[in-house]
Structure 1
Amino acid sequence: MAGTPRFLTLADVAEVLNTSSAQVYALVRRGELPAIKIGGRGQWRVESAQLEEFIQRMYAETKTFVDQHPYEDAESRSDADAGGSPRSG
């Protein structure tokens, strides 16, 4: 990661994740995304390596979720709800 700073602001992390700074702050405060608080004003910083680990963990959790909750499109669900008979209409 040549060129990537070691520490990122919450705004930087929000940009990487394409979400809001408030959402990133919530992730940090819940302990889901490790961060450090620095300076007298308590500015939060997330280490780039921690962000990458978080992203990989989210991929793994999403894969587990998808595996446990197979996707069924609306047509498949409608056929199953109707006992497998063709839809009228």
Structure 2
Amino acid sequence: MEPRFLLLSEVAAELNVSDSQVYHLVRSGDLPAIKIGGRGQWRVERARLEEYIQRAYAETAEWIRANPLVERDTDG
């Protein structure tokens, strides 16, 4: 069984980005997280990470629709 909550470093590994990028996502509110304990360690619920990924797919698809790939004229 997978853990319900992930460390920011685990989220970074899942997304293949840096820890600081994940911290920025959390602090900006783009990726919901909670602070645990007296030291305020961040944890991201796996379900929230999956929701974030789905939103990112939807936003990317919308961006692609709004910015279609334009073929370059290769006939010099």
TM-score of the two chains, using structure 1 as the length reference: 0.81
Runs of 5+ consecutive residues of structure 1 not aligned to the other structure = 80-85
Q: What is the identity percentage for the equivalent residue pairs of Structure 1 and Structure 2?
A: 60
Cα distance, 1:17 vs. partner?
A: 0.2
Greater radius of gyration (CA): 1
Task: Please give the residue correspondences for 1:8-87 in structure 2 after superposition, counting only pairs within 5 Å.
Answer: 8-73=6-71, 76=72, 79=73, 86-87=75-76
SS at match of 2:43: strand
Output the TM-score relative to the length of structure 2: 0.94
CA separation in 1, counterparts of 2:4 and 2:55? 19
Cα deviation for residue 4 of structure 1 reads 1.3
Unaligned runs of 5+ in 2: none
Cα RMSD after superposing both structures: 1.3
User: Of the two structures, which has the highest relative contact order with CA contacts closer than 8 Å and spacing of 6 or more?
Assistant: 2
CA drift at 1:72: 2.3
